[in-house]
């Protein structure tokens, strides 16, 4: 009983302290998501299996679109939104929060009165990936040279590429990136 009480007391204290540090609630007038661009293609390898499948027959699919989430503040300072379009193998998720849990760019700019869009570029994140050519190569219907280029950074190269430090695991002395939260 005592251990349970102590655990509950510590949890309550932690939540109280966290709430005391929290920013005021966001005032959002409008939020949502959208897909834009893209094209419709004939895909003969929808599920990467038997093309005569009754469950997943060949057909038309949408590809090459972007996906974005947006938020507009109640008191908007500019008629133009800020678009956050990531690169380096990332998705718009990198703008949500920092690795150590602080508010990210999307929220910070929203608090300052700017509408924000977090964009997942073609074939990244929630924009989806065109699997038709991948499955066609897998099934032997297309040459390997038709595979689309893909990008993913290893932890070791990310460390240097994003300038956290000169070598993996060694940060620059003046870095502002929360390396202790990197995982």
Residue 10 has pLDDT above 70, yes or no: no
Q: Is residue 117 part of a domain?
A: yes
Q: Does residue 1 have a pLDDT over 80?
A: no
Shared domain check, 125 and 69: yes
Share of the chain above pLDDT 90, in %: 39
pTM for the model:
0.72
Same domain, 76 and 162: no
**Section 94-111 average pLDDT:** 93
At 28, is the pLDDT very low, low, confident or very high (cuts 50, 70, 90)? very high
Asked, for residue 17, whether it belongs to a domain, the answer is no
* Spatial contact of 126 and 120, defined as CB atoms under 8 Å apart: yes
Between the alpha carbon of residue 124 and those of residues 35, 41, 115, 116, 168, the distances in Å are: 13, 18, 23, 19, 25
User: Could you list the residue range(s) of the whole structural domain that residue 128 is in?
Assistant: 26-143
Clarify whether residues 43 and 77 are in a common domain: yes
Which one is predicted more confidently, 93 or 162?
93
Q: Domain with 127 in it: what CATH number?
A: 3.40.50.1820
- Residue 162 belongs to a domain: yes
Q: In the chain, how many domains are there?
A: 2
């Amino acid at each position: 009983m005592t251990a349970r009480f102590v655990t509950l007391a510590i949890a309550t204290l932690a939540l109280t302290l966290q709430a005391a540090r929290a920013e005021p609630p966001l005032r959002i007038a409008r939020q949502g998501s959208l897909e834009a661009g893209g094209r419709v293609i004939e895909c003969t390898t929808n599920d990467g299996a038997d093309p005569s499948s009754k469950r997943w027959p060949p057909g038309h699919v949408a590809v090459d679109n972007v996906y974005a989430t947006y938020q507009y503040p109640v008191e908007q300072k500019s008629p133009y939104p800020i678009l956050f379009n990531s690169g380096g193998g990332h998705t718009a998720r990198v703008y949500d929060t920092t690795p150590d849990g602080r508010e990210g760019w999307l929220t910070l700019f929203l608090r300052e009165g700017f509408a924000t869009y977090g964009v997942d570029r073609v074939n990244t994140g929630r924009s989806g990936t065109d699997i038709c050519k991948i499955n066609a190569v897998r099934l032997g219907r297309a040459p390997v040279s038709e595979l689309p280029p893909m990008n993913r950074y290893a932890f070791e190269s990310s460390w240097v590429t994003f300038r956290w430090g000169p070598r993996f695991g060694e940060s620059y002395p003046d870095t502002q990136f929360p390396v202790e939260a990197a995982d």
